[in-house]
Amino acid sequence: MFGGRSGEHEVSLMSARSILDALDPEKYEVTQIGVKHDGSWMAGDNVLQVMDSGAKGQEAQAVLLPDPKHPGLYGIKTISETGEELEKITTLDVIFSVLHGTYGEDGAMQGLFEVNGVAYVGSGVVGSAVGMDKGVFKDVMVANHIPVVESMVLLRTELEADMTAVLDQIESLVPSKPYPLFVKPANLGSSVGISKCRCRGDLVEGLMEAARFDRRLVIERGVNAREIEVSVLGNDNPEASVAGEVVPSREFYSYEAKYIDDNSDLLIPAPIPDEIADMVREIAVKAYKAIDCAGLARVDFLLDKDTGEIFLSEINTLPGFTKISMYPKLWAASGLAYPDLVDRLIELALERKADKDRIEHKYRKE
């Protein structure tokens, strides 16, 4: 399942292309489900090609019902100008979703999968929602004594009501040195809507840009940092990969630096002392467990160049999954090749579903 209703729609198509190339046709019968910008679903054999080209194919409009008595994927068939009926397209054993961003990575789609009773790759509703919301996530990290950079959360309506008061409040975050600051949409990834602000004018522009993509905004103290990343894999007993370092081609690891200019360096393993590498791997697993992640996540850190401090930046519960993305590259460096990683994630989805199926849903007195 790919595409989606978020600003990461195009990134999702890139991830899907790599996964489809890696799936063994002798092992898997694949149905492609594309979610268009308007939220409607298409299903068929060549949906990715259709979405890439914009051409019309024979793909069916499809739905997944919130009813475990009617599992599987259904097509919407028009029988008259005023009537439609559902026709089953296929049963589904596992959904491998790469719907990055809102309405795909934030727990919304995971809730539908849960109600339908189908196995799916990745974290459940709680892990997805907490991992997605950068503000709530930081609160959970603080509660678990995991170091994060000073930040605050503001609502878009607060900007609209009194921008000057908001600016004053933000600049009080670190009174001695209010800039630089980073402004982010609370619920988005791939660096969409993120701005680095060096003065009040930048801050106004950054707030307005982030507000295009979310109603909740996160403002963080800027850190002169190296960007260290770790991939985590597993359910109840997760493992961490080797650590890698991102050396962005631009001032920070922006959307353009990740996906367009192709000049950023990924250093694997990261050129950091062993004790630092071990520490970030340990913290990555601790954070993964703290929000009840499952399947996969990429955990991002900031290593302060001035003080040597380590801060956890975020957990991405559905990270970019192209063959050149950091998540699979870190596992390749750890001895797990891309096709084997895809197989393992499908196994973990089935394992998680089997564990959940043990839960009783009726209370009976003896």
DSSP secondary structure, 98-136, as one string: ---STTTTSSHHHHHHHHHT-EESS--HHHHHHHH-HHH
* Each residue's pLDDT tens digit, 139-158: 999 999 999 999 999 999 99
Per the CB < 8 A criterion, the answer to whether 155 and 148 are in contact is no
**What whole-number distance in Å separates Cα of residue 358 and Cα of residue 96?**
22
H-run or E-run covering 229 = strand 225-234
Domain of residue 305 covers 225-356
Q: SS3 for 183?
A: strand
Last residue of a domain, one of 187, 205, 221: 221
Per the CB < 8 A criterion, the answer to whether 159 and 168 are in contact is no
Strand order in the sheet with 195-197: 151-155, 216-221, 181-185, 195-197
Domain at 202, CATH number: 3.30.1490.20
For the chain, the domain total comes to: 3
348 & 295 share domain: yes
Q: Residue 249 domain-assigned?
A: yes
230 & 350 share domain: yes
231 & 352 share domain: yes
Last residue of a domain, one of 197, 221, 245: 221
Last residue of a domain, one of 200, 221, 242: 221
Positive or negative torsion for Cα 130, 135, 141, 147? positive
Which pLDDT tens digits describe the chain residue by residue (366 residues)?
Answer: 999 998 789 989 999 999 999 999 999 999 999 999 999 999 988 999 999 887 666 678 999 999 998 889 999 987 667 678 899 999 999 999 999 988 999 999 999 999 999 999 999 999 999 999 999 999 999 999 999 999 999 999 999 999 999 999 999 998 889 999 999 998 876 567 899 999 999 999 999 999 998 999 999 999 999 999 999 999 999 999 999 999 986 565 445 545 544 567 899 999 999 999 999 999 999 999 999 999 999 999 999 999 999 999 999 999 999 988 999 999 999 999 999 999 999 999 999 999 999 999 888 766
* Each residue's pLDDT tens digit, 7-55: 789 989 999 999 999 999 999 999 999 999 999 999 988 999 999 887 6
232 & 350 share domain: yes
Residues in contact with 191: Cβ distance below 8 Å, sequence separation at least 6, in sequence order:
252, 253, 254, 255, 257, 258
